[in-house]
Structure 1
Amino acid sequence: MSDPSAVGTADASTIVPASRPVPYDPELEPGLVAFLDLVERIPLRPETILANRAHFATIIPPIEQQVAGVPVEWEDRLIPGPPGAPDVAITIVRPVDAVPGAPGVLGIHGGGQVLGTRFFGTGELIDLAVRHGVVGVAVEYRLSPEHPGTAAGEDCYAALVWMAQRAAELGVDPERLLVSGASAGGGLSAAVALLARDRGGPRLAGQLLNCPMLDDRNSTPSSRQYDGIGAWDRNNNDTAWDAILGEDRFTDRVSPYAAPARATDLSDLPPAYIEVGAAEVFRDEAVDYATRIWATGGAAELHVWSGAYHGFSGFSPDAIVSRAAVEARDSWVRRVLRLR
C-alpha cells in the first residue's frame, strides 16, 4: 500500500531522492524531545493503531479538567450525522458571559484520522472563548480504518450544517463561521470547506489549516526528509493513509473530501490560513495547497516557520518562533471573524 512508485495520478517529477532534513530550531528541540517521549512510545503501524488510541486516551485531560477555573461553560450533545450514518457527538464550548451574535468555530481534532477524540481540540476552543467570546463546537468524527474514505469529512460537514442551522440557538452569527483544525484536523477542515462550496452549504468566513494532512501520496521532498524522524514522520503518514483509503490509495478513486490535495479546483473557497513547520513532513503539500488557491485568485495566508517541527507551538509554547506563530494565527482569526 505504501509503495512510493505507485503514485497513480501524482506527477512523477515529485518523486525525488531523500535529502538531508531541515535542521530544527535549537530552542524547539527540548519540546520535540518531550513530545516524542509522550507520543512515540508505540510506533504507529497498522497493528498498533488500537494500542496507540488507548495510549493517547491517557494523554489528553478530560474536559472537566481543561475548563477548571476558566470562565467557560460546556455541554455535550448528539446531533444528526450524515444521511444513513450514526448520530455525531459534539461538545459545545462558550464563554459564561456569551452574547448573541458571537463568532462560531467548528474545531476538528488531529490524530491522522485514526487516533484521538474531540477533546484533543477543545483547548483551542476554550482559549478562543475566553479571549474572543467565540462559541466553539468540537466534533467527534468516525475514525479509520473502521470507517474509511470520506466518513470523517462527512461527519465534520454534518456538524457544520447543524451549527449553521442552530446559529440563533447557539448565539452564533452565521456570517462569522470558521472551521479550524491541526494535522488531520487541518486536512478535514479543508475537506469541509470543499464540501460546503460544492454542496452550496454554510458560508464560511475562513478555514484555518494548521500543519494540515492533505495528500495521501506522500511523495514530496519534505515527506522523504522526515522518514523515521520527527513528531509525525513518513511511516506514520503511510500508516494513516493506508487506513483511510485502503486499496484506493494512489489511484484516481481517492476523493478530495478524504485527501483535499486531490481536488482539481480550489477556486471559490473561503479565505485560508495555512501554517506549517519547515522541518516537518507536511511542509511541501501545505505550500502547494496555498499556491494552488492563489492560482485561482483565492485568498490564502501561508506561514512556513523556520526550523519548526509538526505541532511545535503546542509543545514548545515559550520559544520565540512559537510565540510568533500564535500571534500570526490570532491576527488572522481576528481579521476574518471581524474581532476588535
Structure 2
Amino acid sequence: MTEADFRRFVDPELRPLLDRLGPPSLDLASLPEARAKRQPPPGMKDTLPVLTAARLIPGMPDDPDVRVLVVEPAAASDTPRPAMLHIHGGGFVMGTPDAMSPMLRRWALELDCVIVSVEYRLAPEHPFPAPLEDCYAALIWMAENAAFLRIDPTRIGVAGESAGGGLAAGLALLCRQRGGPALAFQNLQYPMLDDRTVLAKPTIPGGGAFLWTPEMNVVGWECYLGIRPGGEGISPFAAPARAASLESLPPAYIGVGSIDLFLREDLDYATRLMQAGVSVELEVFPGAFHAFELEPRAGVSIRSSTRRLDAMRRAMRLHRPD
C-alpha cells in the first residue's frame, strides 16, 4: 500500500497538515536543512503575562555549560510554585526549546508553574550519553536552586515529546539509579523508547506512514546510539524500554496516536509500568500520527492538549511523601 492508501486511516482534520508538510524524510545530508526548519520564526511574540529568560547553567563534570529557557508566570506567587523540566523532541538530532516556547508559555500560565526547558546537545555530533547528561544537569540545577527559582522541590516533574519523551523516561531511570532528585511525575507524549522498533514492521495499518517513518527512525537511533540500533548491549538509559525493572518510577502520563510508529512500544511501556506498580494514565488518539499536534486546530489535537495539561495539573498538586 502507498502513503495515499493509508490516508483513509488519518483523522480528516489532520490530512491538510500532511499536504502542507509533504513527504517525510531525514538523512545526514538533509539534517542541516531539517534543523533550520525547526527554528522559531523571527520576531515571534505573544501577549501572555509570562516571563521567558535564557540562562547558561553548569553541565555535569567535564561537560560544557547547558543553555536552558526558564518560563514562569509574570505575577508573583505567595508560595513556591510546582516546576517542570521540559525536554523537546526532534529524533535526538534536531529541535530547540525556543521553538517550543509558545506552548511552554501557555503551560506556565495555565498550570501556574515554572518550566525549565533544556537545550541538550544533539546527535550525531553528541551521541548518548551527552544529551541525557545535559538533561540531568538541568534537573540538578533546578533542585539545587529551588529557592532562587521560587519552586517547590517536592513538585518537580519532567515532560517531553517524541525523543524528548524518551529522554524524560531515561532521566527518570537515571534519577532512580543515581539517587538524584525525586521526580513527582513523568509526562511522555508519543515517547521514543525502544531502538528495537527498527527491527519490526508496523502491524497497524498506516502505522509509521506519516511524519516519522521507519526509515527516519533508523537515522535517529543510529545518530543517538553511535551504532546500529536493535542489537545487544544498548543501555536502558538510552532506550528505556530495555530497562529490566520499572519499579519505583514516578507516576506517568503517556499519550500516543493510533497510527504512530511508536504505538506498540508506548503501549508495552505503559503496561510494564503498571505491572511494576507505577500509576499510569494512557491515552490513544484515533487517527493521529506522530507529532499530530502540529495541526493545533484539529479536534484530536485539542483533546490531546487538554488531557495532557489536565494530567500535569493533577500531578503538580501532589507532594511526594517524605
Q: TM-score, normalised by structure 1?
A: 0.86
Q: Give 1:328 shift.
A: 1.5
Choose which of 58, 61, 71 in structure 2 pairs with 1:83: 61
Partner of 2:10: 24
> Could you say which residue in structure 2 is the equivalent of 1:13?
none
Q: Which residue of 1 aligns with 2:212?
A: 232
Deviations 1:124-179 (A, max 9, x none): 32112111211111101011111112211111011011101111110111111110
CA contact (8 A) 1:113 1:244 kept: yes
| Aligned counterparts of 1:256 and 1:271: Cα–Cα separation in 2 | 19
CA distance 1:51–1:318, change in 2 (3 Å): closer
What whole-Å deviation, never above 9, does each CA across 1:82-125 have from its counterpart, x for those lacking one? 22111101111111103141110111111101011121332332
The answer to whether the 8 Å contact 1:98/1:133 transfers is no
Code of the residue aligned with 2:73 in structure 1: it is P
Q: Which residue of 2 aligns with 1:72?
A: 50
> Is the 8 Å Cα contact of residues 210 and 275 (structure 1) preserved in structure 2?
yes
Q: Secondary structure at the match of 2:138?
A: helix
Q: In terms of mean alpha carbon deviation, does 115-124 or 82-91 score higher?
A: 115-124
Measured in 1, the distance between the counterparts of 2:33 and 2:300 equals 33
CA shift, 1:77, in A, is 1.1
Closer, same or farther: CA 89–124 of 1 in aligned 2, 3 Å = same
Distance 1:282 1:228 in 2: 8
Q: Out of 32, 49, 60, which is 1:50 matched to? A: 32
Partner of 2:167: 188
Out of 267, 270, 275, which is 1:287 matched to? 267
Displacement of 1:223 after TM fit? 7.6
C-alpha separation in 1, matches of 2:287 and 2:74: 39
Instruction: List aligned pairs for 1:163-242, cutoff 5 A.
Output: 163-218=142-197, 219-222=199-202, 229-242=209-222
List per-residue Cα deviations over 1:177-205 (Å, max 9, x = no partner): 11011111111111111111111111111
Answer with 118-127 or 165-174: which moved more.
118-127
CA distance in 1, matches of 2:204, 2:309: 31
Name the SS of the counterpart of 2:83 in structure 1. Answer: strand
Structure 2 counterpart SS, 1:208: strand
Match of 1:136 in 2: 115
Q: Map Cα deviations across residues 13-38 of structure 1 (whole Å, 9 max, x no partner).
A: xxxxxxx968111222123333x24x
Q: Is 1:323 matched with 2:309?
A: no
Contact 2:208–2:289, Cα closer than 8 Å, also in 1: no
**Offset at residue 303 of structure 1 (A):** 0.7
Amino acid of the residue matched to residue 123 of structure 2?
S
Task: Answer yes or no: is the 8 Å Cα contact 1:220–1:284 preserved in 2.
Answer: no
Is 1:159 aligned with 2:125?
no
C-alpha spacing 1:317/1:221, structure 2 compared with 1 (3 Å): same
The correspondence for 1:278, drawn from 258, 280, 302, is 258
Deviation of the 1:224 alpha carbon: 8.2
**Could you say if the C-alpha distance between residues 167 and 251 of structure 1 is closer, same or farther in structure 2, counting changes exceeding 3 Å?**
same
**Is the Cα contact below 8 Å between 2:91 and 2:163 reproduced in 1?**
yes
Distance 2:154 2:123 in 1: 32
Q: Which residue number in structure 1 is paired with residue 76 of structure 2?
A: 98
| Alpha carbons of structure 1 residues 31 and 248: separation in structure 2 relative to 1, 3 Å | closer
TM-score under structure 2 normalisation?
0.90
Mapped contact 2:69–2:116 kept (Cα < 8 A): yes
Contact 2:9–2:205, Cα closer than 8 Å, also in 1: no
With over 3 angstroms needed to count, the CA separation of the structure-2 counterparts of 1:224 and 1:48, relative to structure 1, is farther
Report the RMSD for the aligned CA atoms in angstroms: 2.1
Q: Aligned partners of 2:278 and 2:203: how far apart in 1?
A: 26
Distance change in 2, residues 1:225/1:112 (3 Å): farther
Q: Give the distance between the partners of 1:176 and 1:227, measured in 2 at CA.
A: 36
C-alpha separation between the residues in 1 aligned to 2:203 and 2:44? Answer: 36
Displacement of 1:228 in angstroms is 7.4
**Aligned counterpart in structure 2 of residue 33 of structure 1, from 19, 26, 45:** 19
Instruction: Give the aligned partner of residue 128 of structure 2.
Output: 149
Shift of 1:309: 1.1
2:36 alignment partner AA = A
Structure 2 residue runs of 5 or longer lacking an equivalent are none
SS of equivalent residue, structure 1 residue 97 = coil
CA contact (8 A) 2:246 2:276 kept: yes
Residue 250 of structure 1: CA displacement? 2.4
Identity %: 45
Asked whether the equivalents of residues 87 and 160 of structure 2 are also in contact (C-alpha less than 8 Å), the reply is: yes
